[in-house]
Structure 1
Amino acid sequence: MAKQILLNAFNMNCIGHINHGLWTHPRDTSTQYKTLDYWTDLARLLERGLFDGLFIADIVGTYDVYGQSLDVTLKESIQLPVNDPLLLVSAMAAVTRHLGFGLTANLTYEAPYLFARRLSTLDHLSNGRVGWNIVTGYLDSAARAMGLEQQPEHDRRYDQADEYLQVLYKLLEGSWADDAVVADREQRVYARPDKVRKVAHHGEFYDVEGYHLCEPSPQRTPVLFQAGSSARGLAFAGNHAECVFISGQEKAATRAQVDKVRAAAQAAGRDPQAVKVFMGITVIVGKTEDEARALHAEYLRYASPEAGVAHFASSTGIDFSRYELDEPIGFAKGNAIQSATRQLQESAWTRRRLLEQHALGGRYVVLVGSPEQVAEQLIGWLDDTGLDGFNLTRTVTPESFEAFIDLVVPELQRRGRYKTDYAEGTLREKLFASDHPHLPADHPGSTYRNAHTPAPTGALHHA
């Protein structure tokens, strides 16, 4: 049986997310992001389209590299203003039964003890439908806002992240036994004291002594997403990630990236196929190819290539505004997103080329065509690269998601490459066609489960 496509909607609690400038389109509603109706309507729409999840990005800090100011960022609303992603879940979970929620949170600025409670709370309220996109940050503006002079060094951030995950596993997996809660009214025992243990973690980055504040949630640990593609990021993904988000531009390089993710999981003693790999993609679809191309041309008139380049500037740490249109952009190793700077290093980029790449305001692969053409291209990407699915960006909202659901989803279903109904169970059970809601046995986090002796340290495999 051919592999079915997994699909997340890719969004952010802001106006301008990936394809910048399209908030100016007269049919776009993204300026309503501050309202609950905007999000509950979107959740209902995505569940109608049988999306696996809504993947919500986030940043801490602002994009102030381009022009060494916030001028373009503020004028074009390049992920600013941006609201908290986690606070959206309760409302959206209340109007859906199956849709998952992948939530981005920067561990550098989140105390693990309290963050564990937030994750468990959302997992309870959604009946096991949350995932966490693990990020360590890459903006010096965020570090300064949080009281640091600059971001910790790139690989050092992952060292801290490894220990952070150890703390979370101890809290989420090991503090409460599965049978700790008995809710016995007659005996006046809600939870058995002998089944709840104190976590004692004393490491390089964190000192935590205490009991997890929540009883076990449906998944215990939420589904773990991650997006690092550097050597250190891949080692981290191999240990922890259940879903990895990549950015691809052409199939051969994407295939190589997918293979690296699976090799990292195998090196950590895990099943390489147990990691689902998603690629960001943009789709503009019409009932016919001509209709789609006309819509694409219409969107281009509202998009802001400069805003896209300003966003990319902060991803690389390079102020592209200093360069003339056709002046070669110099590469310098920085402390931002290594995969972004690697793209500049591997090719002769100019500001003109960057503006052309960001014609739609973003730099993801853009598929334009009829439902049949788009379905064929999506299937081709999946089959030729080993991907498991896509994070579908928005262009004009909500019409871009509506068009995909009404036109592309039926075509994918007709070809047997997309589900026709949801499976039951938690987000983890749905994504992995499993009958078990918890971390699998070969995942390092599972070794902390229900341990009534001190949980192991150094249990992670480092490449």
Structure 2
Amino acid sequence: MPREIRLNAFEMNCVGHQSPGLWAHPRDRAWQYKDLEYWTELARLLERGKFDGIFIADVIGIYDVLGGNGEAALRQSTQVPVNDPLALITPMALVSEHLGFGLTASLSFEHPYPFARRLSTLDHLTRGRIGWNIVTSYLDSGARNLGQQALKDHDARYDYADEYLEVIYKLLEGSWEEGAVVRDRERRLFTEPAKVHEIGHVGKHFQVPGIHLCEPSPQRTPVLYQAGASSRGKQFAAEHAECVFVAAPSKSILKKTVADIRRRAEEAGRDPRKVLIFNLQTVIVGETDAAAQAKWRDYKQYASYEGALALISGWTGIDFGQYRPDQVLEHIHTNAIQSAVEAFSSADPNRTWTVRELADWVGIGGFGPLIVGSAQTVADELQSWVEDTDVDGFNLAYAVTPETFVDVVELLVPELQKRGAFKTEYAPGTLREKLFGEGPRLPASHPAAGYRDLAALEAGRRGATAGA
């Protein structure tokens, strides 16, 4: 039996997401990102295609590394203007029954106490179809606008994230016991106070003494996504994430990354097969290979070199505008550029990359690989990526929206279903149950489970203090 492939639609509440410049294509509707109808129609389409979910990216800040300002990003709508992703979920949930929603929210800019309430609220309203993509952010421009001189150092952000999640787990998993809400009309008792606990958190970054404001939602803690390619990021994912989002440009890089994450998860005492890994991928599908190639050539006319440089510069922290388009990357000596060169060279060790060639790659689909062809050709390729790298699925970015997703739903999904490589019906239950086939709550092996009995934890702390 072929392995089942997981698919998320990779979106963002903005005009230009991963394909800078293609907003100008006459069939692209990304400019309607501010209209509810765009999102509700997309939700219906994705549910018809049995997508596991829609993964909504987000950034706080503007891509202002290119040229030292945000002018290129503004000209090319490179992820700006950008609206809040959270507001999209409720209306999309209203017009769907099974589609999952991966919300990107940076813990660098959001206090855990009110954010926990937002997560519980969304999990209630969607009946347990929420996931949270945990990010620490990478744009200094966002930090400056929130009163910080710059983002914390990379590893320090993950240390901060560890405590952030401790607070979240205490609030969502431990503050309200099972059975705390009784709704007893005769006794006029809605909640048993003795079963609701203050979390009493005192840490380096946060002091949160009180109770969670929400009663337990279907999943309590939403499905946990994480995106981070560094060693520290992969370690964080191995300890906490249920789904990991990576953006490997080649099979060799992806295979190493997947193996590394699964190894780290096992070392953390978790089942490595219960960590689902999704790679960024863009597909352009046509009725035939020739039709798909023609569509790709049409799209390429609209790709923006300046917009791609704005993205790459923001991602790496290097101003690529200072280099000639024909300058060979291996002759530019910075750590960020060398890592990019190594990643792309793995696909073809004999090839050199110029700045323009890197921009051309990013121009449609960002750093992820691009597959162009008929449904049969694209299905062959996706299955080979799964077989060769052990990846579980893909976050599919669009070239032109919603056309890319329409082609996937109408052409690619039926082909994958015919091969037995994609589901024909949704599993029942919450997003966690659909993804893992088990219960709606995090398993006992997850670190969050250690915070479910706050009364016992507090008693243990008091005993340790008395013994000392």
- How would you bin the TM-score normalised by the shorter chain? over 0.9
SS in 2 for 1:109: coil
Deviation at 1:345, TM superposition (A): 5.9
Match of 2:339 in 1: 342
Aligned with 2:381 (options 377, 383, 403)? 377
2:328, 2:378 → 1: CA distance? Answer: 35
Match of 1:460 in 2: none
1:154, 1:359 → 2: CA distance? Answer: 27
Match of 2:465 in 1: none
SS in 2 for 1:33: helix
CA deviation vs aligned residue, 1:322-346 (integer Å, no higher than 9, x gap): 0122334534347xxxxx7622466
Q: Is the 8 A contact 1:293 1:368 kept in 2?
A: yes
Change (3 A) 1:345 1:287: closer
Match of 2:449 in 1: 446
Match of 2:135 in 1: 135
1:386, 1:310 → 2: CA distance? Answer: 32
CA deviation vs aligned residue, 1:401-439 (integer Å, no higher than 9, x gap): 0111000000000000000000100000001122x1000
Aligned-pair identity in percent equals 54
Structure 2 residue identity aligned to 1:448: Y
Aligned with 2:334 (options 332, 335, 339)? 332
Aligned with 1:400 (options 397, 404, 421)? 404
Q: Number of matched residues?
A: 451
Q: CA RMSD in A?
A: 1.5
1:288-437 to 2 correspondence within 5 Å? 288-329=288-329, 330-333=332-335, 342-344=339-341, 349-360=353-364, 362-434=366-438, 436-437=439-440
Q: Is the 8 A contact 1:244 1:278 kept in 2?
A: yes
1:38-57 to 2 correspondence within 5 Å? 38-57=38-57
SS in 2 for 1:454: helix
1:297, 1:75 → 2: CA distance? Answer: 23
Structure 2 residue identity aligned to 1:342: S
Structure 2 residue 280 is the aligned partner of structure 1 residue 280 = yes
1:344, 1:387 → 2: CA distance? Answer: 23
Q: Is the 8 A contact 1:305 1:361 kept in 2?
A: no
Structure 1 residue identity aligned to 2:132: W
1:237, 1:194 → 2: CA distance? Answer: 35
Q: Is the 8 A contact 1:304 1:361 kept in 2?
A: no
1:113-262 to 2 correspondence within 5 Å? 113-262=113-262
Q: Is the 8 A contact 2:243 2:275 kept in 1?
A: yes
Change (3 A) 1:361 1:223: closer
SS in 1 for 2:108: helix
Change (3 A) 1:198 1:341: farther
Structure 2 residue identity aligned to 1:402: V
* Long gaps (5+) in structure 2: 346-351, 462-468
Deviation at 1:454, TM superposition (A): 3.3
Structure 1 residue identity aligned to 2:290: D
Question: Is 181-190 or 304-313 further displaced after alignment?
Answer: 304-313
1:452, 1:3 → 2: CA distance? Answer: 44
Deviation at 1:396, TM superposition (A): 1.0
Match of 1:337 in 2: none
Deviation at 1:155, TM superposition (A): 0.2
Deviation at 1:20, TM superposition (A): 1.1
Change (3 A) 1:361 1:195: closer
Structure 2 residue identity aligned to 1:316: T
CA deviation vs aligned residue, 1:181-220 (integer Å, no higher than 9, x gap): 1100000111101110001111111111110000000000
